[in-house]
Every structure is written in C-alpha cells, then in structure tokens.
Amino acid sequence: MAIDKNQIAQRIARELKDGYYVNLGIGIPTLVANYIPAGINVVLQSENGLLGMGPFPEAGKEDPDLINAGKQTITTIPGSSFFDSAMSFGMIRAGKVDLTVLGAMEVSDTGDIANWKIPGKMVKGMGGAMDLVASAKNIIVAMMHTNPKGESKLLPACSLPLTGVRCVKKVLTDLALMDITDEGFLLLERAPGVSVDEIQAKTAGRLVVRGEIPEMVFG
C-alpha cells in the first residue's frame, strides 16, 4: 500500500544525522520536523532568514514578525539566529546546509528537477527553489510517484521548465525510495505491500532494480 504524507516525512526523518543543518521546503517536507528521531539534534534553516526554527506557536502567541519561508507563523528554539536574505542564501550557496528536502512536479533519472512552473498556467515564481537546488550538497525530493492523472513524475527527462540540473540525490515517493545514480533511479526500498512491478510500471525514467528490495518499516 502506498504510504501517506506523514509516513513519507517519517521515512525522510531517518536520513537526518545529529548536528545536521536542514532546509525543509513547503508541503510534505515541512512535516519532517515532526519526526526527528530521539537523540538527534538538527537545526532547521528557513531561507527567509532564520536558523533554529521551532514548532508552530500556541494559539494567541503568533508573532507577525516571525514566519517561515511558507509565510506560516512559527517559533524559534534556544540558540537560534536571525540574518538577512543575502546571508541566508549565502550559507545555502556555500554548502553549509547539510540536507535540503523539497517537493517536485517532475524529477529526471539524471537528477534534474522541475517544480516551479507549468507553462500556460499562472506562474507564481521560483522563490528560493532555484538557489536551493543549485547549491545544496544533498537534496532529497519528497513527492507522489504519479500525478493526479496517474502519469509518472519520474521521467527520462523533465517535460516542464527546469528548476535545476543534475542536483537531486534521492527521491522518496508514496511508493518507493530511490537514489539517483549514473544508471538512473536505483530502487532502495518499497512502500509496504507495493511490488517492484508496480513501481516499475509507474516509473517512466530508467529504474535500476538490483537484488531483493526491502520494504520500509514504520514503527
């Protein structure tokens, strides 16, 4: 069975290591903050100028001067720091952020990503996505395996305008966890009960299946 967005977040959270600085994109990636494993300290970066993002505030304690990149009211943890947008993207560009998690509309089997524009539809802008994907050392994409029409979002080449080229390292969908390698999507784990055949059928790009593929386990 396909995993839900909370399980996607939960699985990604296992990629976190103690001491990581992490940028979580809008949508499913934001949920990762809810599943940080015990004993692991990570510092969340919000590209509008904050290191040390905390949970949402209690009702009545929202501060309009304190928001995240999704414009949501948030809080800070002890040891946080504020800075301007140039320094924020400076530390991103300099590779100081250890892990970036973001959503996508399409990912190619060479690691290209498209997530900002659908020609013919209203264009809202790339925000910080192009900066993030161009500079992050380690990018995990979290998305559905197929679009609402059932078409694969894992392609030989993106059909939509690109956000970045050869930058994605790992993709986690509702069906599978994959590394991006020179040979294409290397299947690492299956969602519980989802067959390799189903994943293969829903992956338009090159999929590499090597040996027995374990199921993800959720506690």
Partner 1 sequence: MNKICTGAEEAIRDIPDGAVLMLGGFGLCGIPENCISALVKKRVTGLTCISNNAGVDDFGIGLMLMQQQVKKMISSYVGENAEFERQLLSGELEVELIPQGTLATRCMAAGYGMPAIFTPAGVGTEVATGKETRRFNGKDYLLEYAFEADFAIVKAWKGDTMGNLIYKDTARNFNPLMAMAGKITIAEVEELVPAGELDPNMIHTPGIYVHRIFQGKDYEKRIEQRTVLSKK
Q: Is 120 in the site for partner 1 (CB under 8 A)?
A: no
Half-sphere exposure of 1 (CA within 13 A, CB side): 6
Question: 47 catalytic, yes or no?
Answer: yes
Beta bridge partners of 23: 45, 100
Q: Which two tokens stand for residue 89?
A: 């993207």
Residue 210: count of CB within 10 angstroms of its CB: 9
Q: Is 160 in the site for partner 1 (CB under 8 A)?
A: no
Q: Is 47 in the site for partner 1 (CB under 8 A)?
A: yes
Residue 156: count of CB within 10 angstroms of its CB: 13
Q: Per-residue x/- marks for partner 1, 162-201, CB under 8 A? A: xxxxx-----------------------------------
Q: Which of residues 14-33 bind partner 1 (CB under 8 A)?
A: 18-19, 21
Rounded to the nearest 10°, the torsion over CA 90, 62, 16, 198 is: -110
Q: Is 73 in the site for partner 1 (CB under 8 A)?
A: yes
**Which residue in 72, 169, 208, 209 binds partner 1 (CB under 8 A)?**
72
Q: Which two tokens stand for residue 18?
A: 């103690």
**Is the Cβ–Cβ distance between 119 and 81 less than 8 Å?**
no
Phi, psi at 37, each rounded to 5°: -60, 150
Query: In terms of CB distance, is 35 or 82 closer to partner 1?
Result: 82
Query: In terms of CB distance, is 16 or 191 closer to partner 1?
Result: 16
**Which residue in 8, 66, 171, 207 binds partner 1 (CB under 8 A)?**
66
Q: Is 59 in the site for partner 1 (CB under 8 A)?
A: yes
Least distance (Å) from partner 1 to the CB of residue 92?
Answer: 7
Catalytic residues: 47
